[in-house]
Structure 1
Amino acid sequence: MTLKLTAPTGVLPYRDWVRKELLDIARKAMVSMLSSGSSHLVYVTFLPDFPGVIVPQSVREDYPRSATIFLRIGRKEKVSIDQPHDTLSAEVIFEDGKPSTISIPFKAMTAFLDRQRNVKIDLGQPPQVQRGNVIPLRKW
């Protein structure tokens, strides 16, 4: 099953509303996985240059526009969700073999994939990000 962000743009912010709901589905899935006690495998694609993302500098340099990480979520894994700050934190090992703690705001995510359940959620780009550059939001 693939869920995609295909809402029109215009006067009403349908894209923003749909993206928010799709992010909520990904968030609920990960919270459920964390509390289930069993092991789950997911892929998360995110924008390394999004405000609040904490990753090693080498990740920002090697993947400036988009990065995908593979996470094993379960009781024994070092993955957590900080609900007040709406971030995913995990200890991961990159190509250098050293463990790194990363933090990814859910708003920085562009895709979520649960291969075991054949579910892919294409979240699209956050509303304030366009082609990898942060642009200011309009004031009303």
Structure 2
Amino acid sequence: MSDDDDELNLPDSLLPYDDWTQEALRQVVVSALRHAAAAGLPGGHHFYITFRTDYPGVQIPDRLRVQYPEEMTIVLQHQFHSLTVDDEGKVMSVGLSFSGIPSTLIIPLAAITAFADPEVRFGLHFEVVVPEPIKVADIPVPEGDDVPARPTDGPADVVSLDAFRRRQKD
């Protein structure tokens, strides 16, 4: 039996090692962004951040969304400002200019597909699955005891709109 045969017969893991690894590597991105937010980028360091523009929670100007309907790469080097990462390490915000127009981008870190610092040839790639939008038909309708009771003893109060109309002077 060769080594290739052993690799083909690996059992499926009952533990989500791939998910844990992705989550741990995203924390590297959080640390790098927080460092840049607090102290700037030293030397020639700069970040390329590629993210899914169609990911829930991504907030970018409409003109950029039209230009980049699925994925976009931004560069954080000299001309960025107001870089923040929320306390939970889930969302970043950064100010950039596009064609001379200042814009603020809000990006959930789960939307990032790639992070790189070319100065030191460091790069990470992430698996991103864009959740399907919830359709109204997919929302369960409560039945039985889950349905809030509606009062049925007596007619509802009806207010005539005439009470709110301006009266014309005679």
Change in Cα spacing, 1:68 to 1:38, as seen in structure 2 (3 Å) is: closer
Listed as ranges, the gaps of 5+ residues in structure 2 are 1-11, 135-170
Query: Which of 88, 97, 100 lines up with 1:93 in the alignment?
Result: 97
Q: Confirm or deny: 8 A CA contact 2:55 2:111 kept in the other structure.
A: yes
Q: Does 1:64 align with 2:69?
A: yes
Q: Which has the larger radius of gyration?
A: 2
Q: Deviations for 1:54-103, whole angstroms, at most 9, x for unmatched residues?
A: 101122222122110011379x8321212236211111111x32000111
Q: Which residue of 2 aligns with 1:80?
A: 84
User: Does structure 2 retain, via aligned residues, the 8 Å contact 1:91–1:100?
Assistant: yes
Aligned to 1:104: 107
CA distance in 2, matches of 1:24, 1:38: 18
Identity %: 31
Structure 2 counterpart of 1:113:
116
1:22-61 to 2 correspondence within 5 Å?
22-39=25-42, 40-61=45-66
Aligned to 1:13: 16
SS in 1 for 2:81: coil
**CA offset digits 1:83-133 (Å, max 9, x no partner):** 236211111111x3200011101111111011122101111224xx2xxx6
Distance of aligned partners of 1:135 and 1:17 in 2 relative to their CA distance in 1, 3 Å threshold = farther
Larger relative contact order, structure 1 or 2 (CA cutoff 8 Å, min sep 6): 1
Q: Contact 1:50–1:134 at 8 Å: present in 2 too?
A: no
Taking the aligned partners of 1:65 and 1:38, their CA distance within structure 2 comes to 28
Structural mapping, 1:121-132, within 5 Å: 121-126=124-129, 129=130
Q: Residue 47 of structure 2 aligns to a residue in which SS?
A: strand
Number of equivalenced pairs: 122
CA apart distance, 1:38: 4.4
Q: Distance in 1 between matches of 2:108 and 2:121?
A: 24
The CA distance in 2 between the partners of 1:10 and 1:89, in whole Å, is 36
- Give secondary structure in 2 for the equivalent of 1:134: coil
Bigger share in helix:
2
| SS, match of residue 53 in structure 1 | coil
> TM-score, normalised on structure 2?
0.61
